[in-house]
Amino acid sequence: MVGEKETKARQGMKIMGLQDGTYYLAWFIHFLFLCTYNAIWQTLFIGKIFNKVDMLILFFFWMLFSFCLFGIAIVIQALTSNSKAANGFAIVFFFLSYQLNTPFQNNPPPAGILYVISIFPTIVLIRFIKLLFIYQY
């Protein structure tokens, strides 16, 4: 999306009659296929490790995790107009949001703080994997 913004391809499509809803729907459908493909493979491989966990739960988790990343991508593309800056911002955001869990590695945070930091997909990923290990053994 940022590449289209950078090359002004989206403006050209708007001139030719593309509506915003159609544009975002096309990207959503594209990412839906990518999410589904990713979720299937992640479920198959992770499901072999966690054999006591229902595969449907794993599939839905990976789908929701991918959709969260898609939402973050939408926010990042709205903030930047350069693809290199968007890539850098996404990497820094992912790293910093992962580091939000570091203070709570040994002792869990209070419920209120956990709810607030759970808006970041990396925190949810870490918590889900910990729950899978607890459920597994």
Task: Please give, one letter per residue, the 3-state secondary structure of the chain.
Answer: CHHHHHCCHHHHHHHCCCCHHHHHHHHHHHHHHHHHHHHHHHHHHHHHHCCCCCHHHHHHHHHHHHHHHHHHHHHHHHHCCCHHHHHHHHHHHHHHHHHCCHHHCCCCCCHHHHHHHCCCHHHHHHHHHHHHHHHHC
The answer, as to whether pTM is greater than 0.75, is: no
Higher-confidence position of 20 and 2: 20
For range 11-36, the mean pLDDT: 85
Higher-confidence position of 122 and 41: 41
Look over the chain and give the mean of its residue pLDDT values, rounded to a whole number: 82
**pLDDT exceeds cutoff 90 at 36:** yes
Per-residue pLDDT tens over the stretch 59-76: 988 888 888 888 888 888
How many domains does the chain contain in total?
Answer: 1
How far, CA to CA in Å, does 61 sit from each of 57, 94, 104, 128?
Answer: 6, 18, 22, 9
Q: Please enumerate in sequence order all residues whose Cβ is within 8 A of that of 61, keeping only pairs 6 or more positions apart, or say none.
A: 128
* pLDDT confidence bin for 37, thresholds 50/70/90: very high
Per-residue pLDDT at 127? 79
**pLDDT exceeds cutoff 70 at 113:** yes
Supply the range of the domain harboring residue 9.
2-136
Per-residue pLDDT at 137? 65
